[in-house]
Chains A and B, each alone.
Chain A
């Protein structure tokens, strides 16, 4: 239990909060982006922002894998699962996400499609082995945290000689997305949005290490602190960022020393390199086309590539013009600035990407702050 309560201890939080108040320079404003939806969720769930001085602001980034999956790719998965003989295996949080025309995998299942929820990617292999008469497709999504598992899955499928199994690969990479935020006009030129530093996700760095952030910490002069997902981790990371900014430093620091090293997990990296390669372009919901931001299955494993096996194509869709997700995940607007928030766009019936999963900024606002006096 100390592994749960120990990292949520109120007295330790109060002590960190006091240090933050003492260290934060009242003459300046600090805008810190937590890139990852897991951090957004932790911040709201435990009320981390209630312990921050008024001049330390959190900007909620785009790092929710469910939220950033482009609608045309989700549409392709929905169309695929409705074909006869197909079994689609997906992580549970993908099932309710709305594609175009308000379709979803859950609604497809209600129409008779065989869509199964998995907690582990490997469950797909057992389903394929048990149903040799069906084509089983694993709907692979996520950042570097889930990519090694998918690589392992493909290698296992090959080892087991499964000919009725394939993967619809939608994996994306974190550094490219952070760079796109830093390169976006709002941040770079207009000066409209300030992102002074980043809280980096520890589970991503458990795989890729802290090293990949060093380039843009230097290039863009923004400090990065790799942080764990417990509320004390987040609070400590904020303190570390404030201290770096005060000292005029822009380094990559590691708060999550209990699981992250500079080089990361070489074995997992090798697995990924064996099976995947970067796509020249990949579309993100809310961010658009980003260069070298998504992965595809290498041609030597093309037998397991659902895109090739089923000739999957994507069709451009028009998103709701009033939706402010693009601005929200760059930190240019808050969820409550959007006219759709809480009215036509709710967790039950989401329109924009930030409302579709519990880790999205709008969903977190809606679930944990709605109606509270100090919403923010």
Chain B
């Protein structure tokens, strides 16, 4: 069965023929897998022995829907998979809710679901349950996605901010701020053009590489609010001072340039394919080595010391400043 319409209409969400056409003509061919049974209301999933279940859920409202380096479909997979990966688990299954605005081009939806399917295959996850809703024109901005991710990890895996100690080191797996800057430019509100790409990607290889390093304390993917926000969460949760070295934090040239022009700070811009990790001081070199095998631009960027709960940036200029918590988000909806 194929989809004959060119645009989404309310009928595509009414449970009848048009909706069946959309599911059988667009979603199923892209996402087909043995577990995805559209006849069932719920799907049973196998739980391997000696593994525990890890679950996460996330909503995606990025504007524009498509941007250099990805679209809302690939972003939904990477965003969900990465939350599972940094918890020390291997992601296996996704569920997907799709909210469509009346008037959305079917061709756009096809590209989004195509990218979602390709990203899911790359990450080794299967979409095992899904739902589609259509909202009236103006009630939704093109398309929203909501995804739940399910993964498995070794029983007893412990990664927690509470385990971070004074002396521990912090690493980042690559340049920061690419996704935020790429989406910002893709909105074309500033009359700027450049070869920026979102870093949207799975961090599973990086997370798995670090899991083998004894002394790994904690991992997180710095999405909304960027590296600075993860740094603040860590300082707040541990009560320690986190000192970051501006010189060592990798930032792509194009991202730095856009930030200079528009008055943003790359440390507060979202990443969608990076990982921040905290390791014990004596494991820092080993962790960096392991990380660089899969993420060549990974860097050791700072350390925790006793003191008040705050984040200090040692500037490349030779001075210091407090890295404040993000106040008002200057960027609406970037993930």
The interface residues of chain B lying within 8 Å CB-to-CB of A46 are 315, 317, 319, 321
Q: Are B321 and A44 in contact (CB under 8 A)?
A: yes
The residue in B308, B312, B318, B321 that gathers the most chain A C-beta atoms within 10 A of its C-beta is B318
Q: Say yes or no for B324: interface residue by CB 8 A criterion.
A: yes
Q: Say yes or no for B310: interface residue by CB 8 A criterion.
A: yes
Given the contacts A1-B256, A4-B257, A51 and B310 also touching, CB distance less than 8 Å: no
Closest to A364 in B: B321
A sample of 19 cross-chain residue pairs with beta-carbon separation below 8 angstroms, ordered by A number, consists of A1-B257, A4-B260, A8-B317, A10-B247, A10-B318, A17-B318, A46-B321, A47-B321, A48-B317, A48-B319, A49-B319, A50-B318, A51-B319, A231-B317, A231-B319, A348-B328, A371-B322, A372-B312, A372-B320
The interface residues of chain B lying within 8 Å CB-to-CB of A124 are none
The interface residues of chain B lying within 8 Å CB-to-CB of A44 are 321
Q: Say yes or no for A326: interface residue by CB 8 A criterion.
A: no
Kindly list the 10 A-B residue pairs having the minimum CB-CB distance in the complex, ordered from nearest: A47-B319, A50-B319, A368-B321, A46-B317, A367-B324, A47-B320, A47-B315, A10-B318, A13-B318, A231-B317
Q: Say yes or no for A171: interface residue by CB 8 A criterion.
A: no
The smallest beta-carbon distance between A124 and chain B, in angstroms, is 15
The interface on chain A, measured as residues whose beta carbon lies within 8 A of the other chain's beta carbons, has a size of 31
- Alpha-carbon distance A8/B328, docked complex (angstroms): 27
The smallest beta-carbon distance between A57 and chain B, in angstroms, is 16
Q: Say yes or no for B2: interface residue by CB 8 A criterion.
A: no
- Alpha-carbon distance A348/B322, docked complex (angstroms): 17
The smallest beta-carbon distance between B177 and chain A, in angstroms, is 14
The interface residues of chain B lying within 8 Å CB-to-CB of A48 are 317, 319
The smallest beta-carbon distance between A20 and chain B, in angstroms, is 12
- Alpha-carbon distance A45/B265, docked complex (angstroms): 11
Closest to A348 in B: B327
The smallest beta-carbon distance between B253 and chain A, in angstroms, is 5
Q: Say yes or no for A243: interface residue by CB 8 A criterion.
A: no
Q: Are B319 and A369 in contact (CB under 8 A)?
A: no
Closest to B260 in A: A4
Q: Say yes or no for A347: interface residue by CB 8 A criterion.
A: yes
The smallest beta-carbon distance between A7 and chain B, in angstroms, is 9
A343-376, CB under 8 A of B: which get 1 and which 0? 0000110000000000000000011111110100
The interface residues of chain A lying within 8 Å CB-to-CB of B328 are 96, 348
Q: Say yes or no for A310: interface residue by CB 8 A criterion.
A: no
The smallest beta-carbon distance between A174 and chain B, in angstroms, is 21
Q: Are A371 and B308 in contact (CB under 8 A)?
A: yes
Binding site for B on A (CB under 8 A): 1, 4-5, 8-10, 13-14, 17, 44-51, 96, 119, 231-232, 347-348, 366-372, 374
Closest to A8 in B: B317
The interface residues of chain B lying within 8 Å CB-to-CB of A5 are 316
Q: Are B253 and A1 in contact (CB under 8 A)?
A: yes
Q: Are A369 and B321 in contact (CB under 8 A)?
A: yes
The interface residues of chain A lying within 8 Å CB-to-CB of B256 are 1, 4
The interface residues of chain A lying within 8 Å CB-to-CB of B318 are 10, 13-14, 17, 47, 50-51
Closest to B321 in A: A368
The smallest beta-carbon distance between B258 and chain A, in angstroms, is 11
- Alpha-carbon distance A367/B319, docked complex (angstroms): 15
The interface on chain B, measured as residues whose beta carbon lies within 8 A of the other chain's beta carbons, has a size of 21
Query: Which residues, 166 to 181 on B, are CB-close (under 8 Å) to A?
Result: none
The smallest beta-carbon distance between B216 and chain A, in angstroms, is 29
The smallest beta-carbon distance between B96 and chain A, in angstroms, is 34
Given the contacts A10-B317, A13-B317, A48-B317, A372 and B257 also touching, CB distance less than 8 Å: no
The interface residues of chain A lying within 8 Å CB-to-CB of B308 are 371
The smallest beta-carbon distance between A102 and chain B, in angstroms, is 16
The interface residues of chain A lying within 8 Å CB-to-CB of B247 are 10
- Alpha-carbon distance A367/B326, docked complex (angstroms): 10
Q: Are A347 and B319 in contact (CB under 8 A)?
A: no
- Alpha-carbon distance A55/B262, docked complex (angstroms): 35
Q: Are A10 and B321 in contact (CB under 8 A)?
A: no
Q: Are B322 and A8 in contact (CB under 8 A)?
A: no
The interface residues of chain A lying within 8 Å CB-to-CB of B257 are 1, 4
B227-269, CB under 8 A of A: which get 1 and which 0? 0000000000000000000010000010011001010000000
Q: Are B324 and A368 in contact (CB under 8 A)?
A: yes
The smallest beta-carbon distance between A258 and chain B, in angstroms, is 16
The interface residues of chain B lying within 8 Å CB-to-CB of A366 are 324
Closest to B317 in A: A46
Closest to A372 in B: B322
- Alpha-carbon distance A348/B329, docked complex (angstroms): 11
The smallest beta-carbon distance between B286 and chain A, in angstroms, is 29
Closest to B325 in A: A367
The interface residues of chain A lying within 8 Å CB-to-CB of B324 are 366-368, 370
Closest to A234 in B: B317
- Alpha-carbon distance A123/B190, docked complex (angstroms): 11
The interface residues of chain B lying within 8 Å CB-to-CB of A17 are 318
- Alpha-carbon distance A176/B319, docked complex (angstroms): 33
Cβ contact of A47, chosen from B190, B260, B317, cutoff 8 A: B317
- Alpha-carbon distance A44/B321, docked complex (angstroms): 7
Closest to A16 in B: B318
The smallest beta-carbon distance between A335 and chain B, in angstroms, is 14
The interface residues of chain A lying within 8 Å CB-to-CB of B321 are 44-47, 368-369, 372
A4-B260, A46-B321, A231-B317 are known; give 9 further A-B pairs, CB within 8 A.
A8-B315, A13-B317, A14-B318, A47-B320, A48-B317, A50-B319, A51-B317, A370-B324, A374-B320
Query: Which residues, 294 to 335 on B, are CB-close (under 8 Å) to A?
Result: 308, 310, 312, 315-322, 324, 327-328
- Alpha-carbon distance A51/B190, docked complex (angstroms): 36
Given the contacts A348-B328, A366-B324, A8 and B319 also touching, CB distance less than 8 Å: no
